[in-house]
Structure 1
Amino acid sequence: MTVKRHLRTLAIAAAVTTAFAAIGANVHAAAAKASAKPSVVIVHGAFADGSDWAKVIPLLQAKGVKVTAVQNPLTSLADDVAAAKRAIETQPGKVVLVGHSWGGTVITEAGQHDKVGSLVYVAAFAPEAGKSTAETGEGYPAAPGSKRFVADKEGFLSLPEAAMREDFAQDVPAAQAAVMTATQGPIQAKAFSDKVTNAAWSGKPSWFIVSARDRMIDPGLQRAMAKKIGAKVTELPASHVPQQSRPADVAKVILDAVAATGAN
């Protein structure tokens, strides 16, 4: 009886060990699958900060996507690119790099990073190599909001609340526009003259959200840039901040990019 009990105990122990090994393998496989999904790094634009994406981020996280919102210094293209690259470096695998407005110029340069698998432009600039943000807009009407910048003595530009409400975010509640005014990041005016040295969109797949009611970047310019870079285009009847007024639509485009990038 003692021998039989001993053998039975050994058999049970072996079965338990096998079961735990299987559980461990499944957990490891699930973790590997999760880490294989691209992360999203978001680069905000001028007159904003990372909180500008507070409505979109939870929608991405709900789908199991790791999200990092960069806080740009907005002091120069080089400084903002460096901030974006630091965020990219911390990601576990491939990255979908998202840029809004001025952030489009930043991701055009920073997107050369090896971890970046694709780019998403949201009502953004997409300069060619050798051109600046300012040069990219040449030949198109000056957007109404661009005439309302206020400069401080050090050359940083900001938007007064009326301009934020009427030109930057005219399709969000006034109270929300007031918060956006308070949290905006002023941008050094000289940054708009900084030239892109490499255009990541020339070698990586891109998505582009055109804001048809944009009063900060001419919608015609947005359409032309989207066509030039060969992006998959979604046009929304939105202001300059569709991430604020139509977050679900913006999240869908980003998730499409995540799915496509993960399949590569």
Structure 2
Amino acid sequence: MSTTDQEIKNVVLVHGAFADGSGWRGVYDRLTAHGYRVTIVQNPLTSLEDDVAATTRVLDQQDGPAILVGHSWGGTVITEAGVHPKVAGLVYVSALAPDAGETTAQQYEGFAPTPDFVIDVGADGYGFINPGKFKAGFAADASDADAAFLRDSQVPINMAVFATPVKNAAWRDKPSWAVIATEDRAFDQAMLQYMAKRIGAEVTNVSASHALYATQPDAVADVIAAAAKNAAR
């Protein structure tokens, strides 16, 4: 990873469902060591509108152009929030990428089910990943200890968000990159590849689980750095 004066220096990281921003620590450490100014959004996971607002607040604080990065559900968030004028490029990390007018749930239609990824939904409409299935479905390439921490620090998501259509698709106007985990058990591989191709993303495939944002920080940071270099051109 190298930096030049021409590169974009700001990076904003957006986590997905069932998680918080702490999983980005490895990516944060690698990027900041190379001179990037990295900010991590903490999504409330209460509605698409709330998560977009949380991301927009962070984007407003940037002192120049930024690369906006989303993992999983965070891809839907950056698709909407990425129309912000400070966003110069988008990085989708095993992430959803709906078009304007589409819901997140629609992205799954026609693709294979993922039996290892089991969501338990409470009476209040919020979902957690089933604890017994967590490692297999979310973080198979993590150590047992790291997978247990991710499992036990889960943030539930309001399942209604998946039926909320996005109003804007930032990828239509801004360059995009995609890092795809080839052993993802939360999304069908064909679905991830299809979404990345549809948005015209430059794709990097990584042998990893759905939790690659936490388990493969070198690969993810390298793509973000490449985006920062190339989006500036």
1:56-135 paired onto structure 2 within 5 Å: 56-135=27-106
The structure with more helix, counted as a fraction of residues: 1
Q: How big is the shift at 1:151?
A: 1.4
- Highest CA radius of gyration, 1 or 2? 1
Distance 2:172 2:6 in 1: 27
CA contact (8 A) 1:61 1:67 kept: yes
Cα distance in structure 1, aligned partners of 2:138 and 2:199: 25
Q: List structure 1 segments (4+ residues) > 2 angstroms apart after TM superposition.
A: 33-38
Q: Does 1:177 align with 2:147?
A: yes
- Unaligned stretches of 5+ residues in structure 2: none
- TM-score for the superposition, normalised by structure 1: 0.84
Q: What does residue 220 of structure 2 align with?
A: 250
Instruction: Summarize the Cα distance change of 1:105–1:88 in structure 2 as closer, same or farther, 3 Å threshold.
Output: same
Counterpart of 2:124 in structure 1 is 154
* Counterpart pick for 2:199 among 215, 223, 229: 229
Q: 1:163: which partner in 2?
A: 133
Q: 1:148-173, CA deviations, whole angstroms, 9 ceiling, x for partnerless residues?
A: 11112211100133222111001111
1:137 to 105, 108, 127: 108
How many residue pairs get aligned? The number is 230
TM-score relative to the length of structure 2: 0.95
Deviation string for 1:205-245 (max 9, x for gaps)? 00001111100011110100111000000001111011222
Q: Residue 203 of structure 1 corresponds to which residue in structure 2?
A: 173
- Cα distance in 2 for partners of 1:45, 1:197 equals 19
**Is 2:9–2:35's contact at 8 Å kept on the other side of the alignment?**
no
What CA RMSD, in Å, does the superposition of the two structures yield over aligned residues?
A: 1.5
Letter in 2 for 1:214: D
Query: Which sections of structure 1, spanning at least 5 residues, go unmatched?
Result: 1-32
Distance in 1 (alpha carbons) for counterparts of 2:102 and 2:96: 11
Q: Which amino acid is the alignment partner of residue 86 of structure 1?
A: R
